[in-house]
Amino acid sequence: MFQHVQLDGPLVRFIPDLQLQDLTTTHTVMLSATELWAHKNVLSAHLAHNPEHRIHVVLGDGPFMDGDRLTMKKDNLPAGLQHLTLSDPQHLVQKINHSFLCEHENLTTFDPLGLDLVRVIETSFLCKCCHFTKVNMERFIYLQKINIFFLGFCEDFPLEEIKK
């Protein structure tokens, strides 16, 4: 699954005592959904001064999942997050819940790595993310249905990206 990962700098595995302030160049910080849930405030503090880092969340049957449905909301993520990758090595996600990351103020890129079993994207997917510019839709290889307000009101999103 990770052979097609586009890294923004070196990959760092998150641990609670990781000295985030020592990451002086752009890194991809990888952690589980449970770790994100527990350490969101630590990541928020770091991203306030280093927003260029990508956060890569490995999903499992913990937070942000309701059966086969991904339920992540903007308040589940660290403040200041601009670049998000989600991966699903257990292939649990088949639906993305309504208002997925809707109104996230800072998010600019989203890579749904390994979310290839997603069949349905509910209403308001990444809607009203005013700085959003890129989503890798090629990852959704079994996608059958996209509901209304898909990337709706994303002022900076280039229309030619939707056509790809």
Rounded to an integer, what distance in angstroms lies between the CA atom of residue 52 and that of residue 43? 12
Q: What is the DSSP string of the chain?
A: -GGG---SS-EEE--TT--GGG--S--EEEEEHHHHHHHHHHHHHHHTT-TT-EEEEE--SSTTEETTEE---GGGSPTT--EEEEE-TT----EE-TTTTTT-SS--EEE-TT-TT--EE-TTTTTT-TT--EE-GGG-TT--EE-TTTTTT-TT--HHHHH-
**Tens digit of each residue's pLDDT (9 = 90 or more) over 80-106:** 999 999 999 999 999 988 878 877 788
Task: Say how many CA atoms lie within 13 Å of 81 toward its Cβ.
Answer: 28
Say if CB 76 and CB 40 are below 8 A apart.
yes
- Between 13 and 78, whose confidence is greater? 78
pLDDT at 123: 73
Measured at the alpha carbon of residue 136, what is the angle toward residues 134 and 137, in degrees to the nearest 5? 115
Tell me which amino acid residue 108 is.
Answer: T
**Tens digit of each residue's pLDDT (9 = 90 or more) over 119-164:** 888 876 777 667 777 777 788 888 887 776 676 656 666 666 554 5
